[in-house]
């Protein structure tokens, strides 16, 4: 079985990377970053890019990102700053840089 990067590391890295854009920390920007990096099959399972019809029109990875963000907020690594907007706090930023 192939090992993939944990989703929490993917999401923390995407938030850190998004800070270079005008749309820093937005859910749509995070989706874009992760989808673009999905070409690297070692990062996560490419099937995550498929649409799961029972969940609507969203790709599988989008549900995973939303769930992971919720957990990261609960852990105190990410702050939810508005609808669809997230920001790393100090501990999350340090973890993202060390991944």
pTM, whole model, 2 decimals?
A: 0.85
The predicted structure's pLDDT at residue 41: 61
Domain 7-97, what architecture?
Orthogonal Bundle (1.10)
- The whole-number pLDDT of residue 90 equals 92
The CB-based long-range contact list for 31-39 (8 Å cut-off, 24+ gap) reads: 31/61, 31/62, 31/65, 34/10, 34/61, 34/65, 35/59, 35/61, 37/10
* pLDDT in the model for residue 39: 62
**Cβ contacts of residue 91 below 8 Å, gap of 6+?**
76, 77
* pLDDT, position 42: 66
Q: Is the pLDDT of residue 38 over 90?
A: no
- pLDDT tens string 43-79: 777 777 778 788 788 888 888 899 999 999 999 999 9
Residue 12: Cβ within 10 Å count = 25
């Amino acid at each position: 079985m192939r090992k993939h990067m944990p989703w929490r590391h993917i999401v923390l890295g995407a938030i850190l990377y998004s800070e270079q854009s005008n749309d820093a920390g937005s859910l749509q920007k995070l989706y874009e970053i992760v989808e673009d990096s999905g070409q690297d099959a070692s990062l996560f399972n490419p099937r995550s890019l498929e649409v799961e019809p029972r969940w609507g029109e969203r790709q599988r990875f989008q549900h995973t990102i939303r769930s992971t963000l919720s957990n990261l907020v609960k852990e105190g690594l990410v702050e939810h700053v508005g609808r669809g907007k997230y920001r790393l706090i100090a501990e999350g930023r340090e973890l993202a840089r060390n991944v």
